[in-house]
Chain A
Amino acid sequence: MIEFISATKCIECNQCVTVCPTNVFERVDDGIPVIARQSDCQTCFMCELYCPVDAIYVAPSPDGLTGVTEEELTNQGLLGGYREKVGWGKGRTSVASHDFHYKLSARSIF
């Protein structure tokens, strides 16, 4: 479930408001978007992918929050970590271009 939007990192582009499939965020005039409907979050991580400045953290559980702080996440390298792993964003190589899945299918017994 969406845990927070970092007030220090957010650039108020409102991309998360635009792309959220379940309408969790709300635009605020002259401010960062608010998490208006947290319980509607489906934990799909798309806001994290589309946030250009890694200001968003989605906790893994769809049922509740962890209370983790921005500082802790930054120290663990978890803020923006998913974007990096799937190669999403300018200058990165997308996982789409890897043959992992082809090999995965070849290695699975099915």
Chain B
Amino acid sequence: MSQQNKKLTVDVLVLGGGPAGAWAAWSAASKGAKVVLADKGYVGTSGATAPGGTTLLVIPPIAELREQAVQSRLKAGGYLSENAWIHRVLDQVEVNLEQVEHWGYPFPKDEDGQSLRTHLHGPQYMQIMRKVVLKAGVKIWDQSPALELLHDEHGVGGARGINRLTGEKWEVKANAVVMATGGCAFLSKGLGCNVLTGEGLLMSAEVGADMSGMEFSRQYAPSFAEGSVTRGRMLAWATLYDAEGQPLLKGDRTFGGIPELMLKGPVYASMDLADTEEKREFLRRAHPIFFMPLERSGIDPFKEKFPLTLRYEGTMRGTGGLRLIDHDCSTTVAGLYAAGDAASREKVTGAISGGGAYNASWAMCSGSWAGEGAAQYAQSQPKQADGRNLVAAGHHGMPAGSASSAPLEVKPLVSAIQREILPLHINYFRSEPIISASLDRLNALKAYIDRQAPATVQGIVQSREAAAMLTVGRWMYTAALARKESRGLQKMVEYPELDPRQTYRLIVSGVDHIGISTESVPHAHELDVRKEGRAV
């Protein structure tokens, strides 16, 4: 491994190069900031968006329509969302999509020549984002996972990482850092999601940032069992069958019943509701990535039955992440901003899943706001970051945190974490004794993280990923046990009802010892009024 260090001082360092990070980098550079964007993989292919595509939350600027959407989200999200934030997203997403079209994205047009800006094809979208980010003067460092943040008494001041291809270590000093590393999907092999292992959240917690909404992490996506593509909307044309070929469900686009069905035995799907060749051809052309794994397995999904599995989506399609404290997506740590799935999306989604649409629009909007906020903050600082007495904060799964000479074996540790997080019987069908016992076992795994990480490039990166997944899992279950009710994505068998007195957010902080507190939400009183109204 090369011991040579690559060092640079800039205004803004963006970590993570999916849509949120790309928008943050572009926005910061457009404000005149010097920017480095470092991604674990490659900006253009990396993250949940790139390999697939995404439907956007776009609502025409008609006050009635928008108010209706905001109100229905408020109710569905358990009154934890904030109307003003949803309106901001709806306004901003129009601006950004127009920009994407201006950059050359070929949106289809209707008969009147109006652009239909409702969906983005992942590879194309992210290829364009890479191009414009580079053109804006951003330095992109691909294959360069960050491992730890730098900080001093004034807040965050950059990061250190490693290049996975060369082994070269890097250090960027910057007065502002945008965390856009995505959610944590625990290597569950959903399309494009294995890069989402939570290091950004761990790094941020090590410098004192809080997480919010970690209990809302019970989302699983149906996928062909022998494939990675999780695109449940296509099941709107499917009948689900049991092993004997008896039909179970038809055209259930919400696929809410699959976990329950899977408790009883294997579940199969056949897209037999697409009953004409015209429909079948339309679907094949609309969603090539859904059909490709089936085709490669020699299955005709319209005639044959194919086995389904559920892939855990972690905090990516949950709503939890770094707690934001202001409109510019700043966190509680000075200089640290968060965007996309790395940030808590509760302000716009409340307690329910962001799903594709909400999260996709959120990624571009929060990216823009965080990038601008970070640029402004960095440019208003009295001195450059290289004049600060910065120290590295990384601890868990790193040499600085090791307390034992025993070697850290990453793969068995990751399997042990997955055994607690992925199973439906623990994480989906949540109950106090089961989650509590699982949390105890996760806490017991902490000792393994303090062992000596392998000195190889892969070993260094993967040890940190394991430490992050373990920490995120502990936060999730700690928050789940603290919310003694069912609301949105959080369900506990002991508390099947929503409790209006718990209309608040749950904040977790710390890594070794996890602290928990509550934060009030602006629309909580509307829930109380509604309940009282009904009682009268």
Give min CB distance, A49 to chain B, whole Å. Answer: 6
The answer to whether B108 touches A97, judged by C-beta atoms less than 8 angstroms apart, is yes
B24 at the interface (CB under 8 A from A): no
Q: A44-B191, A99-B116 are in contact. Are A86 and B458 (CB under 8 A)?
A: no
CA distance in complex: A62, B412 (Å): 19
In the complex, residue of chain B having the shortest beta-carbon distance to the beta carbon of A64: B226
Q: Which residues of A contact B119 (CB under 8 A)?
A: 101-102, 105
CA distance in complex: A27, B254 (Å): 44
- Interface footprint category on B: 35 or more
Number of A-B residue pairs at CB separation under 8 A: 148
User: Which of A42, A44, A63, A97 is B106 in contact with, Cβ under 8 Å?
Assistant: A97
Q: Which residues of B contact A98 (CB under 8 A)?
A: 108, 285-286
Give min CB distance, A75 to chain B, whole Å. Answer: 13
A103 at the interface (CB under 8 A from B): yes
B123 at the interface (CB under 8 A from A): yes
Binds A, one of B6-14, B210-218, B289-297, B394-402: B289-297
Q: A21-B47, A82-B288 are in contact. Are A44 and B228 (CB under 8 A)?
A: yes
The answer to whether B142 touches A18, judged by C-beta atoms less than 8 angstroms apart, is yes
Q: A101-B53, A101-B119, A102-B116 are in contact. Are A60 and B45 (CB under 8 A)?
A: no
A6 at the interface (CB under 8 A from B): no
Binds A, one of B69-77, B192-200, B344-352: B192-200
The answer to whether B45 touches A19, judged by C-beta atoms less than 8 angstroms apart, is yes
**A: number of interface residues (CB 8 Å):** 43
A7 at the interface (CB under 8 A from B): no
The answer to whether B226 touches A60, judged by C-beta atoms less than 8 angstroms apart, is yes
A9 at the interface (CB under 8 A from B): no
User: Which of B110, B292, B293 is A85 in contact with, Cβ under 8 Å?
Assistant: B292
User: Which of B46, B107, B165 is A21 in contact with, Cβ under 8 Å?
Assistant: B46
The answer to whether B123 touches A109, judged by C-beta atoms less than 8 angstroms apart, is no
B121 at the interface (CB under 8 A from A): yes
The answer to whether A22 touches B41, judged by C-beta atoms less than 8 angstroms apart, is yes
**Most chain B CB atoms below 10 A, which of A46, A86, A109:** A46
Q: Which residues from 12 to 61 on chain A have a C-beta closer than 8 Å to any C-beta of chain B?
A: 17-23, 27, 37, 40, 42-46, 49-50, 59-61
The answer to whether A44 touches B118, judged by C-beta atoms less than 8 angstroms apart, is no
The answer to whether B282 touches A42, judged by C-beta atoms less than 8 angstroms apart, is no
Q: Which residues of A contact B332 (CB under 8 A)?
A: none
In the complex, residue of chain B having the shortest beta-carbon distance to the beta carbon of A102: B116
Q: Which residues of B contact A17 (CB under 8 A)?
A: 165
Write the residues of chain B forming the contact surface with A, with a CB cutoff of 8 angstroms: 40-42, 44-47, 50-51, 53, 55, 105-110, 116, 118-121, 123-125, 142-143, 164-165, 189, 191-195, 224, 226-228, 233, 236, 251, 253-254, 282-283, 285-289, 292-297, 458
Write the residues of chain A forming the contact surface with B, with a CB cutoff of 8 angstroms: 17-23, 27, 37, 40, 42-46, 49-50, 59-63, 78, 81-82, 85-86, 88, 94-105, 108-110
